[in-house]
Structures are given as structure tokens and as C-alpha cells.
Amino acid sequence: MKKYWYWIELIGFDAENTEQSVDVFLSRTGGAEGVSLLLFSVDFINEFTEDEEGVLPPQVCSYAAHNSNGERRRQVWTKRGLKKLVSVLRARGLKVLLCVFNMYLYHLDGKEICEGFSSEHLEINELCNDGNIFQVVSMIKTLSDGTSYGEFFKDKLIRAVEFYGFDGVQIADGISSARLPIAHSDFSDDLVGRFIARGGKL
């Protein structure tokens, strides 16, 4: 039987009974070659640290912190719990990839939440052709201290993959390429200045 890859949020598994929920997942799918865990927020990487303790923010526990799926309400996942999930999946013979988008805004209890690393570094957010900030990050921008954001992200990403035990990374929307078309973004001094200084090349 052919086995497939599945792109799935943490809410697809049970934080309180990880092993059983993995076995239920495998029975429903007839087995799998691998899963890509969609952890949604780019700040999962931006704010990564190697400490073992800690609770994952709600937008990581389900896509943009949505309340429930057809089976359970959004649960509180910890860093230890995510490490265990990756370990159990791999023990069942699956490959496990990490995946985030370049987004960080989410809604909780009817309120829009905009906080964390990306909101504190608007210089790496996309700037639209109307002068407004589009609150997603651009992988080719520069942090205010002159650091390449792409290099900053890459270093954090490698550390996160190693810490949690992932087999690799799915480079998804907004990370693989800009979320907005070039006609709409990015018109920041950062990118326009570099484009001009390099004779039309980034």
C-alpha cells in the first residue's frame, strides 16, 4: 500500500495522550510515510531557545489559535510535549518535518493579537505600495542592527530542528517566497535602497 505525507496541526494530536493519538492517526490514514507539523507562526522560530521548559503559544497549538476541530478543543502544548510527539512519530517509523508560515497575527477570544518578536521588529515586515505595513515578515529584509534576517532565521531554525528532533523542514508559504506579489510589496527603504545600490539586483 502506498503511504502518504500529511500536513497537520498540533490540534490533530492529543497533548494529554500523545502515543494513543498517534496510533489513532496511523489507523485512520492506513499508515504514513511522514508528517509535516504546521506550527503556523514564524515567531516559533524567531523566539526559539533551548530551554526544556515552557508552554507553546496558542497560535502554535492550532492554526492561528482557532478554538477547535471536529474532535477536540485547542489544547495547551509544552515544549516537552512537542518533543515527545516528534519522538513518538519517529518511533512509529515516520519522518517528521517542521513547518511555519511567515505570519504571526492571530485571533483569541475575539481579539486580534499582534505581539512578539515580529511585531517588535516592524523593519522586517513587508511594506506595501500604499505605505502601509503588511504584518507578515519578509525573509530578505534586514534587522535594525544590520543583521540579515534570513541568516538570523536560518540559525534559529537549525537549532529548533535539532532541539525537537525533527528530520527536516517544509519550506512553506511566505518562507519560500514573498506572500504578496512584487507589484504590491516590498517598497521599504531597505530593499529599494539595496536594489538601487546593487544595480537592480537583490
- The per-residue pLDDT for range 74-89, each reduced to its tens digit, is 999 999 999 999 999 9
- Looking at every residue in the chain, the average pLDDT score rounds to 93
Q: Per-residue pLDDT for 182 more than 90?
A: no
Q: Per-residue pLDDT for 189 more than 80?
A: no
What is the pLDDT at residue 74? 97
Confidence of residue 186 (pLDDT cuts 50, 70, 90): confident
Question: What is the distance between the alpha carbons of residues 71 and 9, in angstroms, rounded to a whole number?
Answer: 13
Tell me if residue 155 falls in helix, strand or coil. helix
Tens digits of per-residue pLDDT, 21-58? 999 999 999 989 999 999 999 999 999 999 989 999 99
Q: Per-residue pLDDT for 200 more than 70?
A: no
Q: pTM for the whole thing?
A: 0.92
What's the Cα-to-Cα distance from 153 to each of 25, 66, 108, 124, rounded to whole Å? Answer: 31, 26, 26, 11
What's the Cα-to-Cα distance from 189 to each of 124, 126, 155, 179, 196, rounded to whole Å? Answer: 11, 11, 25, 19, 10
